[in-house]
């Protein structure tokens, strides 16, 4: 007898979690029940799927089977969705994960546009950093998430480029820097910079840029708090590096002095994460479309400022 959908779901959970206990929590089952399901599946298929000598490790057969199981689960979800279109329009709920750099300027207008067109949809947004959001997408807690790149392979998670945005240096409105003028970090004397703590993906990107361009930082402060960072920047001579879309509102109505970083140009990739085993729901697709539109509008503003800054910086260096 061929495995049913429930057994396939359990196998996929064990494969992705590499733990019977974690798979049981994800599938709302007992650890012993999950283990028995896998034993029965192996007996039925006549092949060992997992090695249990050092934890739970998939065999080559399991990896090949997993790819096909993902296709089965996704096809089943798509087949079921075709019936939904005959039953009702957009209504229901969704859970989205966004990193703090996305929530400051993008979340409000996105939510307003989406709920105006879909008032019967309940939207929940979870703000967290890349690692936590990736795990929640993999476990199925989130419909999708937008995190900081670069892309990294994670079993059970599909990642695609969402957008690229220029990086800006943010300082207080009393800063000696001229608002929206290009800035070369190496030219700033006594640079005091607030960065995320170790293990944060943005910290890795910033550290690589600083070391690759021999930029000297007088003092480095580690804050894993976006609100705390911006509060300290606004009231002191500390500075920080933020994605352009985070600072989009400050271009025309500045709460901070924002300066595009040039020589070299600094950009950040944002990545869309979604569960690989199931397609995005129609609600999630509609919300994602709104989020893309708002992000593109803001990104076009800051990208133009960054593009104009490069030749200005070159002209300044020649004079």
Is 9 in a helix, a strand, or coil?
helix
pTM for the model: 0.79
Is the per-residue pLDDT at 311 higher than 90?
no
- Cα(246)–Cα(234) distance, integer angstroms: 15
pLDDT of residue 209: 94
Co-location of 138 and 280 in the same domain: yes
Co-location of 274 and 142 in the same domain: yes
> Domain total for the chain?
3
Co-location of 72 and 105 in the same domain: no
- Is residue 317 within 8 A of residue 177, CB to CB? The reply is no
pLDDT of residue 313: 57
Co-location of 26 and 150 in the same domain: no
Percent of the chain past pLDDT 90, that is, above it, reads 76
Between residues 134 and 83, which one has the greater pLDDT?
A: 134
pLDDT of residue 95: 97
Co-location of 65 and 109 in the same domain: no
User: Beta-carbon neighbour count of residue 155 at 10 Å?
Assistant: 14
Is 311 within a domain?
no
Percent of the chain past pLDDT 70, that is, above it, reads 95
Omega before residue 150 within 30° of 0, cis: yes
pLDDT of residue 80: 86
Is 298 within a domain?
yes
Co-location of 274 and 260 in the same domain: no
pLDDT of residue 1: 65
Between residues 213 and 201, which one has the greater pLDDT?
A: 213
Between residues 83 and 276, which one has the greater pLDDT?
A: 276
Show which of 55, 86, 117 is a domain's final residue: 86
Question: Helix 282-318 to helix 108-117 angle, to the nearest 10 degrees?
Answer: 150
Q: What is the CATH number of the domain that holds 21?
A: 1.10.10.10
The model's confidence at residue 38, banded by pLDDT at 50, 70 and 90, is very high
Q: What is the CATH number of the domain that holds 122?
A: 3.40.190.10
Strand intervals (E) in 239-316: 239-243, 257-260, 267-275
Please give the residue range of the domain that contains residue 21: 5-86
pLDDT of residue 319: 52
pLDDT of residue 252: 85
Co-location of 147 and 290 in the same domain: yes
Is 82 within a domain?
yes
Is 315 within a domain?
no
Co-location of 151 and 222 in the same domain: no
Co-location of 145 and 179 in the same domain: no
The model's confidence at residue 310, banded by pLDDT at 50, 70 and 90, is low
Is 263 within a domain?
yes
The chain-wide mean pLDDT, for the chain, equals 91
Show which of 67, 86, 105 is a domain's final residue: 86
Each residue of 49-81: pLDDT tens digit? 999 888 899 999 999 999 999 999 999 998 888
Q: What is the CATH number of the domain that holds 220?
A: 3.40.190.290
CA distances from 281 to 139, 193, 275, 285 (A): 16, 41, 11, 6
pLDDT of residue 140: 92
Is 173 within a domain?
yes
Co-location of 30 and 65 in the same domain: yes
- Cα(291)–Cα(307) distance, integer angstroms: 23
Is the per-residue pLDDT at 314 higher than 70?
no
pLDDT of residue 288: 97
pLDDT of residue 149: 84
pLDDT of residue 91: 84
Each residue of 76-103: pLDDT tens digit? 998 888 776 565 557 889 999 999 989 9
Co-location of 74 and 56 in the same domain: yes
* CA count, 13 A, side-chain hemisphere, 96: 26
Co-location of 10 and 157 in the same domain: no
Is 314 within a domain?
no
Is 318 within a domain?
no
Show which of 86, 117, 149 is a domain's final residue: 86
Strand intervals (E) in the chain: 50-51, 57-58, 92-98, 121-127, 144-148, 157-171, 192-195, 219-222, 239-243, 257-260, 267-275
């Amino acid at each position: 007898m061929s495995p049913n959908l429930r057994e396939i779901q359990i196998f996929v959970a064990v494969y992705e979690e590499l733990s019977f206990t974690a798979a049981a929590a994800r599938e709302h089952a007992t650890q012993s029940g999950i283990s028995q399901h896998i034993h029965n599946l192996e007996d039925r298929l006549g092949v060992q799927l997992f090695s249990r000598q050092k934890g739970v490790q998939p065999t080559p057969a399991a990896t090949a089977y997993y790819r096909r199981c993902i296709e089965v689960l996704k096809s089943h979800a798509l087949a079921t969705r075709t019936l939904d279109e005959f039953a009702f329009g957009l209504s229901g709920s969704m859970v989205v994960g966004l990193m703090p750099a996305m929530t400051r300027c993008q979340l409000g207008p996105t939510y307003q546009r989406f709920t105006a067109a879909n008032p019967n949809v309940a939207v929940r947004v979870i703000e967290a950093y890349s690692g936590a959001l990736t795990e929640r997408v993999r476990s199925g807690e989130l419909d999708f998430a937008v995190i900081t790149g670069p892309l990294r392979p994670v079993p059970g998670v599909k990642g695609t480029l969402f957008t690229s945005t220029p990086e800006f240096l943010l300082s207080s409105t009393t800063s000696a820097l001229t608002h929206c003028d290009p800035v070369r970090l190496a030219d700033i004397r006594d640079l005091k910079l607030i960065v995320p703590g170790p293990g944060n993906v943005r910290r890795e990107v910033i550290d690589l840029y600083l070391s690759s361009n021999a930029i000297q930082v007088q003092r480095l402060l580690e804050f894993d708090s976006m609100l705390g960072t911006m509060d300290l920047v606004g009231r002191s001579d500390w500075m920080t590096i933020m994605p352009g879309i985070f600072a989009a509102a400050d271009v025309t109505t500045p709460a901070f002095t924002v300066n595009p970083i040039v020589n070299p140009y600094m950009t950040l990739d944002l990545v869309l994460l979604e569960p690989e085993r199931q397609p995005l729901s129609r609600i999630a697709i509609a919300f994602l479309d709104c989020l893309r539109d708002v992000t593109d509008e803001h990104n076009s503003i800051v990208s133009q400022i960054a593009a104009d800054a490069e030749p200005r910086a070159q002209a300044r260096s020649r004079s």
